[in-house]
Chains A and B, each alone.
Chain A
Amino acid sequence: MSWTSIVVLVVGAYGCKAFGVLGFGKITDGTAARFEPFTALIPAALFAALIAVQTMAGDETLVVDARFAGVAAGAVAVWRRAPFIVVIFVAMIVTAAVRWQTWL
């Protein structure tokens, strides 16, 4: 990659973050509290979308593969109130195991 592309990425990525933090306050101008019911739900909507996309992302379309099994196992661990680190390891181990099985 050229340095020009990297500089554009640096500026663009920071610009997105800064717009959210500084710009939003300017737009709502003291009425930010009125948007609170909406903004409080943004993490739920975005994290669920992030999980769906990252679990099933393929080339241009969604695929169900070893990752799906791993993340599902991780979800069971969350439901069973397992510690955070256990959730992550369960997901990795199950994903790796399913992949290893299908490669044999």
Chain B
Amino acid sequence: MSGHRREGFVLATATGIVGITFGVLADAAGLTPPQVIVMSALVFTGASQLAAVSVVASGGSEGAAVGSALLLAARNALYGPVVARLLPASWLPKAASAQFVIDETTAMATIQDNDADAADAFWWTAIWLWTLWNAGSILGVWLGAVIGEPEVWGLDAAFPAAFVALLAPHLRHQPGRVAAFGGAALAVVATPIAPAGVPLLVAVFAVVPGWVVSTRGATEAAT
């Protein structure tokens, strides 16, 4: 297996473990096994699913659960322009591919050196991720009581740590560093004052200072 395929599998395994967490929490929140299966197969965006079942479990309304889940799902729209050129050109296959445009697939695609590897990384990650996310969810429903509190195993650190590794290649250039620092800062500032999901949307504005830095760099290089 080439490097990016193996890394895609590792990332999918880590996400599959988070999927177990989702299954445990969804079961505890009273979702039926068919509901859990449909959600993981078709909603297929982890943070949103976890948010929805957490709101229900803590006694929130279904409207609040759906609202916060969709706010978290909205960031996937921002990944579309990033990966669109890697997806099939004709309309129907492109529309079907959109289902797989999420954090993990975008991350694996954008750290490759060329478009061929990027498309390959996108699809291998998508396939492993979809398979293991669903397997993890079902396993979680099954094992629910056995696992108990997923936090004991440090599972909640697996996802952010994986993304530290996936962010690192974006920090090799100054515009990337500026965008990353700005994005984190905006998200941190927005978190106490905005509902979950919104801080991630606000963070996208950090591309502007990143872009300013890149044009300045280009001007200097030209002169």
A residues neighboring B (CB under 8 Å): 1-3, 5-6, 8-10, 12-14, 16-25, 28, 32, 35, 37-57, 60-62, 66-67, 70-71, 74-75, 78, 84-85, 87-88, 90-97, 99-100
Contact = CB atoms under 8 A, between A and B. Distances in A.
B65 A13 contact: no
Contacts of A18: 80, 95, 98
12 contacts: A12-B66, A13-B42, A16-B75, A16-B76, A17-B102, A20-B76, A20-B78, A40-B82, A43-B107, A45-B180, A48-B203, A51-B167
Categorize the interface residue count of chain B.
35 or more
A21 B89 CA distance: 11
B38 to A, nearest CB: 6
A24 B167 contact: no
Contact of A87 (B151, B161, B188): B161
Interface of B: 7, 10-11, 14, 29-31, 35, 38-39, 42-45, 47-48, 52-53, 56, 62, 65-66, 69-70, 73-85, 87, 91, 94-95, 97-99, 101-103, 106-107, 110, 151-168, 170-171, 175-177, 179-184, 186-188, 191-192, 196, 199-200, 203-208, 210-211, 214-215
Contacts of B161: 70-71, 74-75, 87-88, 90-92
